[in-house]
């Protein structure tokens, strides 16, 4: 995946085999890093929710700021600041905030999604990642195929999510058991646009790639 070019990835969502909304993953190159935004409209399972996750990454793919907003029956906002300089990770939710020592590289959900796509693991290999809420373990499983394309498959624990990546490192399919059924996101389209010389200027020329 070329992280120097602005990109928009569109996904369809399904739950128990039924349509459950859609989500978009946007990659915006910044000087010395990358801004990643995930926006989702999730219709199933109840309640329906609107979600927006935002992560600011440094040149090594590590977050220095993460924000998550979920709107359903109510609204919940969480912000996390990763400060190498102060050696602290500060989590804010509503009027409450707490800090923990920043002793090792840590990830948020979006930076983890991109980091897994860049892993160089043999089948059966396991890599540990540190998160604010604990640890995540990623295991490389035997490759799968989607049509004619080979996909790298990883199992994420805890939670037993399955993540499928193509040869370029794009997250093509993600599945997770929610309740009694499987929730899945499947990549439908990638839109790439060259970076504009003027920040904020709309770029008309796009390169599109469909997956279905």
Average pLDDT on 37-49 reads 91
Whether residue 28 contacts residue 8, with contact meaning beta carbons closer than 8 Å, is answered with no
Q: Which long-range contacts (CB under 8 A, 24 or more apart) does 203-208 make?
A: 203/6
Q: Residue 200 — very low, low, confident or very high, per pLDDT cuts 50/70/90?
A: very low
Helix (H) or strand (E) holding 111, with range, is helix 109-117
At 181 the three-state DSSP class reads strand
Average pLDDT score over the chain: 91
Whether residue 9 contacts residue 168, with contact meaning beta carbons closer than 8 Å, is answered with no
Q: Is the pLDDT of residue 198 over 80?
A: no
What pLDDT does residue 209 have? 67
What pLDDT does residue 201 have? 38
Q: Where are the domains of the chain?
A: 7-210
Asked which of 39-53, 118-132, 189-203 is least confident by mean pLDDT, the reply is 189-203
């Amino acid at each position: 995946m070329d992280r120097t070019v602005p990109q928009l990835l569109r996904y369809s969502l399904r739950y128990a085999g039924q349509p459950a909304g859609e989500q978009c993953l946007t990659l915006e190159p910044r000087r010395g890093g990358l801004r990643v935004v995930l926006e989702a409209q999730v219709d199933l399972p109840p309640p329906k929710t609107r979600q927006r996750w935002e992560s600011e990454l440094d040149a090594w793919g590590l977050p220095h700021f993460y924000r998550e907003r979920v709107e359903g029956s109510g609204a919940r906002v969480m912000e996390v600041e990763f400060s190498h300089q102060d050696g602290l990770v500060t989590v804010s939710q509503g009027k409450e905030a707490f800090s923990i020592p920043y002793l090792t590289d840590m990830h948020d959900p979006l930076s983890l999604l991109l980091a897994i796509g860049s892993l160089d693991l043999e089948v059966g290999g396991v890599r540990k990642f540190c998160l604010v809420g604990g640890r995540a373990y990623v295991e490389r499983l035997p490759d799968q195929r989607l049509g004619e394309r080979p996909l790298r498959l990883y199992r994420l624990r805890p939670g037993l999510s399955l993540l499928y990546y193509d040869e370029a490192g794009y997250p093509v399919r993600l599945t997770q058991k929610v309740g009694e059924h499987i929730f899945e996101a499947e990549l439908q389209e990638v839109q790439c646009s060259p970076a504009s010389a003027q920040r904020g200027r709309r770029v008309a020329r796009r390169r599109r790639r469909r997956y279905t």
